[in-house]
Amino acid sequence: MNAVITGASKGIGKAIADQLFSKGINISICSRNMDDLIALKQELISNYTHHPKIHLFQADVSKKDQVLSYADDIKAQLGTVDILINNAGIFIPGSLEDEADGALEAMIDTNLYSAYHLTRALLPEMKAAGSGHIFNMCSVASIKAYPNGGSYAISKFALLGFSKCLREELKPTNIKVTSILPGATWSNSWAGVELPEDRLMQASDIAEIVWSALSMSPSAVMEEIIIRPQLGDL
């Protein structure tokens, strides 16, 4: 079984890569930083006695040409994709009035277009295989705007819309589509913030959700999953 995870070198993507690799699934992981990918590969190999394939690819997924190059490399290295995790994303805080010029474009390119282009590139082979599962890493910001969320919320609302459309279109194909909407989850982006770590969810919590969705019978699909810190949103 083959899985693709974008933005896999840190945070939620890294936790999902660890989860799937631990289950014996071949993984293709991408990031903008090859050193981070190599470090993750070494970590996974040292942590487990079984060694599925680990395919590394350096890409800035906000760039369409790099996304399509990644898709071509996936097909050459792994073949048909069984699990696609569209996880890559960025957050630039600010209000719509005051955020930096270009913030919307940067977050749409990374948070939406990367998933759109990679999914479209890999779908023909998935449809030919008659199976597969696509996960789109949305956010609680996909359903509720919040102060200083600005264009991030716009991009995540759009990603959820993409995911909903994909779900409807792929119903007859036996390909599942799941939207995951996490609240605040611990990652490097929270480093230095004066909050107790236990106030946030762990990236491993999201990885467990992915595995739970994958473990369901062929006749069932988790369409949308909202997961928040026990004490609520920050």
Catalytic residues: 152
Determine phi and psi for 215, rounding to 5 degrees: -85, -5
Token duo for residue 20: 């799937």
Contact 154, 197 (CB under 8 A): no
Q: Which DSSP string corresponds to 35-102?
A: HHHHHHHHHHHHH-SS---EEEEE--TTSHHHHHHHHHHHHHHT-S-SEEEE---------TTTSPTT
Label the pairing between strands 175-182 and 224-227: parallel
| All residues at 6 or more sequence positions from 47 whose CB lies less than 8 Å from its CB, including other chains | 18, 22
Measured torsion, CA atoms of residues 212, 218, 222, 227, in degrees rounded to the nearest 10: 0
